[in-house]
A and B are shown apart, each in its own frame.
Chain A
Amino acid sequence: MAYCVECGVKLAEGATSCPLCHREVIASKDIIGTAKKPLFDEKDDQEEKFPSLKYDKRRKGLIELSITFVGVAIVTLLITGIAIKDSFSPWFPIACTVLGSLYLFILLFGKSTYSRIGTLFTIQTIITLFTIDLFSGTLTWSLYAMNGVVLLYIIGVFPFYKKIQSPIIKISVMSTVILVSLFLFDLVEGQSLLWFFPIALPTFLITLGGFFILALRYLYGKPSLSDIVLSIILNVSVGTVAGNFFSLRMLKSPYILTWSKSVLIVSIILTLFLISNATIRKVRFYFNNKV
């Protein structure tokens, strides 16, 4: 057991420095001794922590600032509305201010993950479009727009949801929503179904089939990145050609294809390239004894 020459205190057995002045103990091991009963055990990471603050100071400041700006804008609009009530109604601009500011608040209050912010932005956009359209008295263009927003969400946000892991569920949901959206577009536009069954459905199924083949290749083979990109281009091209083909059938046209002939040529070349590429690779691997 040693003493600190600086502070004069007796140090615990095994202490190699003074905890008060941090001065190192220069003494033999016999004097320093070995730690028999440390005051506490070694530190761990399993401590029960006080729940950390939800928002840091900077974010809190931004929230306060944004609320102030929105508050000032609303009050200004209200005063303007009262002052010139014959020529100006403040309610539409107030609604726009509130709805617009909500985009900012979603970013400031929400958890910063792509899928969460994407979902909240989608809901917010639908509410905004609905509200703006409602001010005109009847719902017209917002129904199309909402459908488009949902479609964008299902293609651009939904696949990135980490909670849903299964690709089968993701593809099934995406396909169903796309089909339902196309169905609704057709229904809303002409008040009855016109192009959904003869054009949209078969085109969609052909495109889906192409992506299904790509998914199988991805699951059971090892396609390179260029293979995947070219396959996606091929599927889109085939879908385009199919769209042109089925629209001409609905119109009872004597032509098989019109504007999509060049796209068809691209599709054929791409198909040939992909097949030859896969074949050459297989042959090469066979002769190189690669599995």
Chain B
Amino acid sequence: MKSIYERVEPIPLDNSAIIYPPTVARFNSNMFRLSMDLHIEVNPHRLKTALEHIVGRFPYFCLSLHNGFFWYYLSEHSAPFEVYKDNPAPCRYLNIKKGANGYLFKVFYRKNRIAIEFFHAITDGTGGIIFLKSLVGEYLRLSGYEVGEDPEVFLPDSKVKEEELEDSFNRFYRPIKSVFAMESSAFHFNPKDQFQDDIEVISASLSVNTIKVKAKEYGLTITEYVVCEILDALQKLQKMHVKNKNKWAPVRLSVPVNIRKVFNSSSLRNFTLFIVVGIDVRLGHYEFDEIVNAVMHQMRSSVNEKTLSLQISRNVAGRRHPLMRYAPNVVKNPLMKLLSDSYGDNIYSSVISNIGNVTLPSGMKEVVERLDFFLSPSKTNKVSLAAIGANGKLIINITSILAHNTDFERLLLASFVEKGVSVEVSTNRSN
């Protein structure tokens, strides 16, 4: 494989990726998974060949992670690629040295499924979906299918663009002084339940058209409508589990935003920012319409170039601070964990990441039956949500480390049903 990096020195992690390696823990694998269910059976040998063909087009994925003295860093890696039999649970912990021959992503196959699990430090959902589409495209070509052109399906021989490899945060960084706004702690669901090492999933399949109509009724986009439903479910969940009103906390959601379109970037690395939207239930019960207003206002005012620029400046400046730059990793790691908790996990109750509607080129559209997206939860926020749309279906995968409790899932999905949105559920739970 031809090296795109004409240098020997370590490759730094993205600005938004530096938080992932030090915060990996038993119940926080920092992994996400994308998968495609096909109408045809998957041949693992052919899949391996397809992977070997296509991976050269993604040099940024052919890297391994190392724990340096000052920072975690990436370096070029040339171990052979493997495809693995699918796990019974998604987003399992990935050993960065041995888990996938040293790579930070793992390709899985099952009877009719091709899945990739990524360690979040290497890319985000957008980079991941391009890689998955390109891999499946190459697999189908090797299987004799004709796959139409698509800007998100890369061909093995196509040229690697420099901007795909850039850390866009550095390009859009403006030296503006901005501080971290301290938010109060949000509601965290803490039922008396066992934690599972294996992530439990409840997968909900909804019709895109129905949900689009419902969202339009409220004047919202699909993501905004789903966010409203989740906040409402969290509000009910808090009422159900926290009897003492004085102990109620605001319910907030972290919503990752793909800012490539806002900043006109085509980086395949992490280029995502999180906006936090929520309602303060300590002020009283929020009717659904009130939640709609709050979410609409908060989301629309947050996703614009100026507000996001401030966040970029804040993140990059933090990394460039001499105290952060020259502190050894041993000192930095617990600090990162503390920062991640105080400005991350603690201030929201859950995460919903919506990749949006994935368009598939001709030839692939006919073969792909279903797309899935899974996000690993954490010990603080025991339930995470990931949504993806394709072929007229919106799949919401609710991942949880709770062994038995499904109160949140029930409240959320029953709420969709109550509003006339039909939901089909499947699970890997055995209890």
Q: Which residues from chain A sit less than 8 Å from chain B, CB to CB? A: 7-12, 15, 18-22, 37-44, 47-50, 52-53
Contact = CB atoms under 8 A, between A and B. Distances in A.
A18 B425 CA distance: 9
B413 interface: yes
B203 A50 contact: no
B425 A8 contact: no
Contacts of A40: 86-90, 201, 428
Interface of B: 24-26, 29, 37, 86-90, 92-95, 99, 110-112, 197-198, 201-204, 406, 409-410, 413-414, 417-418, 422-430
Contacts of B406: 19-22
Contacts of B92: 47-48
B37 A42 contact: no
Contact of A7 (B111, B112, B414): B414
A153 B427 CA distance: 57
B425 A49 contact: no
B197 A50 contact: yes
A7 B26 contact: no
Given A7-B417, A48-B93, 13 more contacts: A8-B418, A9-B413, A19-B406, A20-B202, A20-B413, A39-B427, A41-B87, A41-B110, A43-B198, A43-B430, A44-B88, A47-B198, A49-B93
Contacts of A18: 425
Main SS at interface, chain A: loop
A38 B425 CA distance: 11
Nearest to A43: B88
Contacts of A50: 24-26, 29, 93, 197
Q: Which 4 A-B pairs have the closest CB atoms?
A: A12-B426, A8-B417, A20-B410, A19-B427
B189 to A, nearest CB: 15
Contacts of B414: 7-9, 20
A244 B339 CA distance: 77
Nearest to A12: B426
5 contacts: A7-B417, A9-B204, A10-B424, A12-B427, A38-B426
B26 A39 contact: no
Nearest to B427: A19
Contacts of A19: 202, 406, 409, 425-427, 429
Contacts of B425: 9-12, 18-20
Contacts of B89: 40, 43, 47
B112 A41 contact: no
Interface centre among A15, A38, A44, A48, by most B CB within 10 Å?
A48
A39 B204 CA distance: 11
A47 B37 CA distance: 22
Contacts of B430: 43
A25 to B, nearest CB: 12
Given A43-B198, A48-B94, A50-B197, A37 B112 contact: yes
A47 B426 contact: no
Nearest to B99: A48
Given A19-B202, A48-B95, A41 B417 contact: no
A11 B112 CA distance: 21
B80 to A, nearest CB: 19
A41 B113 CA distance: 11
Contacts of A15: 426
A224 to B, nearest CB: 49
Contact of B26 (A8, A37, A42, A52): A52
Nearest to B95: A48
A49 B429 CA distance: 19
Contacts of A20: 202, 406, 409-410, 413-414, 425
Nearest to A22: B406
A41 B35 CA distance: 14
B232 to A, nearest CB: 16
Contacts of B112: 37
A8 B88 CA distance: 27
A256 to B, nearest CB: 70
Contacts of A43: 88-89, 198, 428, 430
A52 B26 CA distance: 8
A18 to B, nearest CB: 8
A187 to B, nearest CB: 50
Contacts of B99: 48
B181 to A, nearest CB: 32
Contacts of B24: 50
Nearest to B413: A9
A9 B201 CA distance: 16
B37 to A, nearest CB: 7
A10 B414 CA distance: 11
A160 B88 CA distance: 41
Which of B86, B417, B418 neighbours the largest number of chain A CB atoms within 10 Å of its CB? B417
A157 to B, nearest CB: 34
A175 B117 CA distance: 58
Contacts of B204: 9
Contacts of B95: 48
Contacts of B94: 48
Contacts of B413: 7, 9, 20
Contacts of B37: 37
Nearest to B112: A37
Nearest to B26: A50
Contacts of A41: 86-88, 110
